[in-house]
Structure 1
């Protein structure tokens, strides 16, 4: 397949560009359907004229259909998308990029999806879809699963389709207490959604951020909370997102003096309430209840997700946490990491 990709790029470079463009358009229609041409053009950053020409081709070949509500993908369109996925991977050189990153970051498994989330939010859906496939392959009866919040993790839950619904002995838990005001992205919400899809049991941690140390200690001693925290500490699979330190600090509502402290300490990454500098050192730990850093080394498998070239430093800051597991990122983050390591 790789040799075929190289040959295509040499003999019909303009054909490869057309192939990639039609793939991106068909993929976008599958995500946003029913969708009109103008909205599609805005999502992809392509002129309406090009969108019109390409969608006319897709319609003529019955890959899409046009309704009063907009364009929708057909079953034939779904089939061609799946068939093209591997070819697009090779055309972009993503398999080789994954191997390079696995070696550079010293992580067993790295998965790279096409695109850059910073430029196209649709790419986040592909990160979620790839992470969902990995999770489906590793989950076993009797597993305890802890999950953090966040938009990319939410995409993984949305994409996840279990092979069967026979995971009654699986337990799903939030990796930490709630975050911010958007309930749909909180770890409690995502834990319950994943449990529903699995037909599994779950428990919640309804504890807000920024409680006083005394209040946290008191709540943690409550029998129900104590039992949940004990289960979290015995997690088999941890699913978490990697955030930009300052963005996450603001989202969590940290006070300005704390945010200024993070700037001075050159914090670049956040994961489950811990803030790291580029060397992977903890520079701050927000007061929260949930999984602790010293418990992570006992977890059998971790799945991390992150997208966008702006997340490159954050990924590098937490690479030491992923010795037993994998990370799913996009092309933008992957290329930025490669550039940084080469120029170091």
Structure 2
């Protein structure tokens, strides 16, 4: 036991190689290896990792297990600065995207402020043979977060090519939407997006100041509150999503020029990005729908998400 303890101390505390220990104690390397193995079996080794990142790993595992995700990335929250927190989430999403890209990939994206932040934080000297394609129609009056602008910006960052969609996200009527969706140019974009290798999507709130798509439309705060009371909790690819993850049956969804959320599940890597207290319910609803397999968010949002769902 004394010899085992001595070998363990030299190996783990002083960082000696097994060959160095063998020479110092006049043992064979095989004997040293056996003593280390014996020490493990006797429970003489306890490894403690001291890192502030451990709390993020725990949150990632809990969320991935709860919603059956392939990947969850939790980044630090910056107290008192939602914009700085959003920037951290953008960096994390950019890193996850870079880990996923391969030459020849098609990357489908939605619009939104979070995706804009991700693209701003994307930095690479590499050139990729990729195509960027929209998942939805565009939103008037929101140039810097519009899907066509973001597709172009992402293509420029990666040295790829962008496909643009010349159609609005919101049609005036269901009939108008059907006409737009029947156009060959729009069908081609949607078909390209359905066959994408990677999808990157934001998650929006319906009620409140951050409900981007539905404050941009002629939808009053009273109407958005009515939608919330009816059970709508999230905007995903422009679609209004109920708390349980199902698509709402309201007329707004029937007027969308967008890929249906259920089609996203066929894309191998689907990354949703969102952060902030106002996004907790929207994220939970989208997760309940099982529309994507990867999530990027911040620590505070992740904690609130898990505690709210536990309640």
Give the TM-score range, shorter chain. 0.7 to 0.9
Supply the distance in 1 between the matched residues of 2:120 and 2:149 (Cα, whole angstroms): 12
Deviation at 1:271, TM superposition (A): 0.6
Deviation at 1:248, TM superposition (A): 3.7
Q: Deviations over 1:229-272 (max 9, x none)?
A: 22122222110011112224532314337525412312111110
Higher mean C-alpha deviation, range 311-320 or range 221-230: 221-230
Matched, 1:172 2:132: yes
Equivalent position of 1:293 in the other structure: 261
Equivalent position of 1:274 in the other structure: 239
Please say if residues 195 and 267 of structure 2, whose CA atoms lie closer than 8 Å, have aligned partners that are also in contact: yes
Describe how 1:98-247 pairs up with structure 2 within 5 A.
98-115=60-77, 119-162=81-124, 164-167=126-129, 170-208=130-168, 209-246=170-207, 247=211
Aligned length, in residue pairs: 257
Supply the distance in 2 between the matched residues of 1:320 and 1:114 (Cα, whole angstroms): 24
Larger radius of gyration: 2
Please say if residues 244 and 289 of structure 2, whose CA atoms lie closer than 8 Å, have aligned partners that are also in contact: no
Describe how 1:24-43 pairs up with structure 2 within 5 A.
none
Please say if residues 246 and 289 of structure 2, whose CA atoms lie closer than 8 Å, have aligned partners that are also in contact: no
Deviation at 1:308, TM superposition (A): 1.0
- What SS class does the counterpart of residue 318 from structure 1 fall into? helix
Deviation at 1:286, TM superposition (A): 5.6
Deviation at 1:118, TM superposition (A): 7.5
Supply the distance in 2 between the matched residues of 1:191 and 1:272 (Cα, whole angstroms): 15
TM-score normalised over the length of structure 2: 0.75
- What SS class does the counterpart of residue 255 from structure 2 fall into? coil
- What SS class does the counterpart of residue 327 from structure 1 fall into? strand
Deviation at 1:275, TM superposition (A): 1.1
Per the alignment, do residues 218 and 250 of structure 1 end up closer, same or farther by CA in structure 2, a change over 3 Å counting?
closer
Please say if residues 264 and 292 of structure 2, whose CA atoms lie closer than 8 Å, have aligned partners that are also in contact: no
Supply the distance in 2 between the matched residues of 1:325 and 1:105 (Cα, whole angstroms): 9
Per the alignment, do residues 116 and 104 of structure 1 end up closer, same or farther by CA in structure 2, a change over 3 Å counting?
farther
Matched, 1:308 2:276: yes
Equivalent position of 1:327 in the other structure: 295
Structure 1 gap ranges (5+)? 6-86
Please say if residues 94 and 113 of structure 1, whose CA atoms lie closer than 8 Å, have aligned partners that are also in contact: yes
Deviation at 1:211, TM superposition (A): 2.9
Supply the distance in 2 between the matched residues of 1:131 and 1:155 (Cα, whole angstroms): 9
Deviation at 1:322, TM superposition (A): 4.7
Equivalent position of 1:89 in the other structure: 53
Please say if residues 232 and 241 of structure 2, whose CA atoms lie closer than 8 Å, have aligned partners that are also in contact: yes
Q: Deviations over 1:146-185 (max 9, x none)?
A: 1111111111111112351131xx2111110112412001
Supply the distance in 1 between the matched residues of 2:290 and 2:246 (Cα, whole angstroms): 15
Supply the distance in 1 between the matched residues of 2:79 and 2:154 (Cα, whole angstroms): 24
Supply the distance in 2 between the matched residues of 1:117 and 1:242 (Cα, whole angstroms): 22
Supply the distance in 1 between the matched residues of 2:293 and 2:88 (Cα, whole angstroms): 19
Supply the distance in 2 between the matched residues of 1:144 and 1:117 (Cα, whole angstroms): 36
Please say if residues 249 and 259 of structure 1, whose CA atoms lie closer than 8 Å, have aligned partners that are also in contact: no
Deviation at 1:340, TM superposition (A): 1.4
Supply the distance in 1 between the matched residues of 2:290 and 2:94 (Cα, whole angstroms): 17
